[in-house]
Amino acid sequence: MSDSAKSESANQMWGGRFSEGPDAIMQAINASIGFDQRLYAQDIAGSRAHAAMLAAQGILTPSDAEAIREGLLTVLSEIETGTFPFRVELEDIHMNVEARLKEIVGEPAGRLHTARSRNDQVAVDFRLWVRDQCDAAISGLTALIQAFLTQAEAGAEWIMPGFTHLQTAQPVTWGHHMMAYVEMFARDKSRFEDARRRMNECPLGAAALAGTSFPIDRHATARALGFDRPTANSLDSVSDRDFALEFLSASSICAMHLSRFAEELVIWSSAQFRFVRLSDKWTTGSSIMPQKKNPDAAELLRAKIGRIMGANVALLTIMKGLPLTYSKDMQEDKEQVFDAADTLMLGLAAMTGMVSDMAANQKTLEISAASGFSTATDLADWLVRELGLPFREAHHVTGTLVAMAEKKGCDLPDLSLAEMQSVHPGIRTDVFDVLGVNNSVRSRQSYGGTAPDQVRAQIARWKQILNG
């Protein structure tokens, strides 16, 4: 098609208000078809529901509605098979679909846009797309949670160090550590579920901003598109992007959790820790150092989540200064959301693969758990429980014994009874029962604690929740 023909085609879509076509720079800044063509399935679904409603209300004839229905199916097939002629001069997915529909069915295509606007059209398309991404995130998180549950069940009794400030704090179990991430990602899952419920209202029928004088049935189009109800205010309907912001907010928190475990995998797989092994599926070698096995998948995931958080800030920045209702600024709402969704789904899939693949070095974990005076708190608790010392005094006695062991180059269980009694004469032989890491872990029987019985109880609870 020649430039003049393209310009004429675009002008026909706009009508008589504009006598000249946009120049190349304006076309480049104005067109969105390069990215919003991802909304094609949602756009066609919305148009089909709208046409069916118009026919049911007597606004379209049955023959026009049938022609539109068949024509839209043809357009859908062309896009899915890669033969659809996307045209930049038609700006966006809505105009591209409508123009092609006119080429296929002729005059009836011009009646499809009755009682709607591109404002409510894009609002419903985008909301449908984001709703689909919420469903995908919920599914991906369910798979990830199940992978962590499998790890937790296998290692419910395996001892490992628990950390604060990345310093050895107290012994915990591998299963307990895995279950911490089950809790995190379950909260993420609930955020997407909650956001989905809130966004499940249909803006179609709000038209440009004020509704329409045609006798449309918005409840019918809402039902046809799987929404719970139509939106209740036409001004809000076309100007709202909260649904996209909630998706990005939930995605950002989820991405942060993904990054935290990615960081642990990077640390744990290092030669200094050797807590876990990742297979060749998730690691790479070095071009110069043959001994290297780099956790590149975890590192890349840790970096990529910045794109999700950036998208959240970008869309908040776009929306923060916009008066009601629609402004062209809102065309910039999609690319960030598209990229964030792609990044999140890739991250969830990669993390599920790594969690399923990783193998814990059980012996190394236990040896590490026993180092760094990890049972010092157990000793202080024993002094309180058995000797009746105030906790602050018990804390002081324990600190003195830790300093003694540190000076001798040994751990607390390696001190003799006489050495302990030199600090506090009331200490008895049975104190050594609480200084082993296994006894320490088994004693943490409080609800949500690290004792294997508690871990297994939480595993069973989450299995029941996931199985519905």
Catalytic residues: 165, 286
Please name which of 98, 113, 117 lies closest in space to residue 234, comparing C-alpha atoms: 117
Those residues with Cβ within 8 angstroms of residue 255's Cβ, 6 or more apart along the chain or in another chain: 305, 308, 309, 343, 344, 347
167 forms bridges with which residues in the sheet? 164
Residue type, 411: D
Q: Token digits for 25?
A: 């720079």
DSSP string of 260-323, one letter each residue = HHHHHHHHHTSTTT--EE--GGG-B--SS-TT--B-HHHHHHHHHHHHHHHHHHHHHHHHTTPP
Instruction: Name every residue whose Cβ is closer than 8 Å to that of residue 34 and which is 6 or more positions away in sequence.
Output: 88
* Rg of the Cα atoms in the chain: 31
Name the phi and psi angles at 162, rounded to 5: -95, 145
Residue 176 and residue 201 in contact, taking contact as beta carbons nearer than 8 Å: no
**Of residues 111, 77, 113, 70, the one with CA closest to residue 94:** 113
